Every structure is written in structure tokens, then in C-alpha cells.
Amino acid sequence: MATPDSAPTIKQLLRHAQATIDSDSPRLDAEVLLAHVLQKDRTYLFTWPEKTLTEEQAEQFQALLQQRQQGLPVAHLIGQREFWGLPLAVDNSTLIPRPDTETLVEVALQLPLPDNTRALDLGTGTGAIALALASEKPSWTLLGVDRSPEAVALAQHNAAALGLGNATLRQSDWFSAVTGQNFDLIVSNPPYIDEDDPHLAEGDVRFEPQTALVAANHGLADLELIVGCAPDFLGAGGWLLLEHGYQQGGAVRELLRARGFEQVATHRDLGDQERVSLGCWPGSGEKSDER
């Protein structure tokens, strides 16, 4: 650290912060917090390591650093997390978007879907999945739903900030507000953690809503509900994509097959863990043709 008579440099502050933050990524945490204080991107930190901070900036950084040391998520401290290259506002009303969920977006974009695809994102939270798909597919129509009005307001803010007019966000307890509608694609990152999972007492999840994390029946209850109901809202050849826990791939594939889905498969995430399972609905049944 700098002496009391000298202003601290970027290099000094980062070295000090990295040594004091207790997380899986102390250097990255420090860089993101300092870039936020300076209102610069992280490249600036590497380009100008000898630049000094004003007293006000140094105090702001130390305050953020202290909160991070107490465990508060970096995303909550700066009010933002990037997902699929999109800057998303975040707060404690929703899950913080995670890189592994980008696997679901990647898989969805590889599917044989029409140019005018109608897609439904169940439990949209910040709107991350719906907005990522909307940004990649301007001709698609995206509907993201969440039962939390605070989450819906946040997702609507993100959609407006990104100028994504092909995405609509509204309140719904799973399918309750979309009765009579028909989709080509349904995606979801639902709660899938067992209520007894010890990881709930660790890391960022301590500061995220438990209702967005935990599900009954060893984490499978909401996955079961979605698989059971989805065919009533899918057109023939429509796809269902689900994110799940790394040990739940086999159970989710069985749920999909038992419900009548075809082409059932599972894709692995960045850590080579089973993370996203999907299936194609073969027939339209008695569903509405409303689009």
C-alpha cells in the first residue's frame, strides 16, 4: 500500500486487495471493483498501473473491498453482471447470472427453429436468457416470465436499457399467465438445489433469494412441473431446454422421455459438468393454435 503521504496507485491497490479478498477469484474481484470506482474498463487498470487515485476514489474502493470481504457478491456491489456480452442490472431480488447458463443459450441457438420463433423463458430473473436470445435473434419473439414482481421490473429495465423490443417480460407463476399460448421453444433455469445442500451456506448464494435456488424432492420438483406442463404450450417439433444440477442429468433425461419427448440429450457446461438437458415434442395434441 502507499504511505500516508502519497496517493495509492492502481497497482498498489490491486496487490493489497488481492491479498485480502477471500473468494475463488480475488484478483478478478478486485479488478472489477476498482474499474467500477474509476468508471473505466479493466483494460485501463493494466494500461495505467501507476496511475493514482483521488482520496475519494480510494475511500470508495476500500468501502467496497470491505463489503466484499464480508461476502457480499461483486455483482450486487456494482449493481451489474455481464451475461452473453450484455451488461445486466442485478440486485438481491434475483439470481446473479452465471457463465454456465450461457450453455443453455448456446444450445438454443443451435436448434432447427423457424425464423419467427416464439420462445418462452420461465423464471426469467434478470431476463438474462430471454435477452441473450433476443439479442441474437431479432426476428424471434421472446416472452420472459417470473413470479417475483421485483424480478420482472428488473428484467423490464434491462430489456429497455438494451433496446431489445422483441422481448416482453411479465409476471407469471410458471405457466399461469400464458394459458392458450403456443411456443416453438421453452427454456428455463429453475430452482434445482436440494434444501439440505451445504453449498447454500457458502459464497454468493447466501445473498440470493432462496426461492430462486431451492426446490423440493431433492431439487427436482420444479423441473418435474415444467416437464409435465410444457407439452401443453409447445407446438409440434417444439423444444424444451432445462438447466439443472450437475448430478441431475440422468433424472431430467428420464423425466423428458417419460413425458414423451424425443431427441433427448444433455450438454455439458464450461466445467465439463452435465448442465442442460433438452427434448423435442413430437406432436401438437389438443393444444391451442394461437400464436
Residue 200 has pLDDT above 70, yes or no: no
pLDDT tier at 206 (50, 70, 90 boundaries)?
Answer: confident
Per DSSP, the chain holds a count of helices (H) and strands (E) of 11, 9
Residue 45, amino acid: L
Question: Are 192 and 264 members of one domain?
Answer: yes
Q: Between these two residues, 219 and 278, which has the higher pLDDT value?
A: 278
| Domain final residue, candidates 38, 71, 104 | 71
Residue 3 lies in a domain: no
- Element containing residue 274 per DSSP (H, E): strand 274-280
Given this model, what pLDDT does residue 287 score?
A: 39
Question: Are 175 and 46 members of one domain?
Answer: no
Question: Are 111 and 21 members of one domain?
Answer: no
Render pLDDT for 237-261 as a digit per residue (tens, 0 to 9): 999 999 999 999 999 999 999 999 9
Render pLDDT for 148-159 as a digit per residue (tens, 0 to 9): 999 999 999 999
Q: Between these two residues, 204 and 74, which has the higher pLDDT value?
A: 74
Tell me which residue range forms the domain holding 101.
Answer: 81-280
pLDDT tier at 198 (50, 70, 90 boundaries)?
Answer: low
Give the residue among 263, 230, 210, 6 at the shortest CA–CA distance from 121: 230
What cell does 139 get? 426476428
pTM equals: 0.89
267 within 8 A of 276, measured Cβ to Cβ? yes
Question: Are 90 and 200 members of one domain?
Answer: yes
Question: Are 45 and 150 members of one domain?
Answer: no
Domain total for the chain?
2
Residue 164, amino acid: L
Residue 5 lies in a domain: no
Question: Are 235 and 133 members of one domain?
Answer: yes
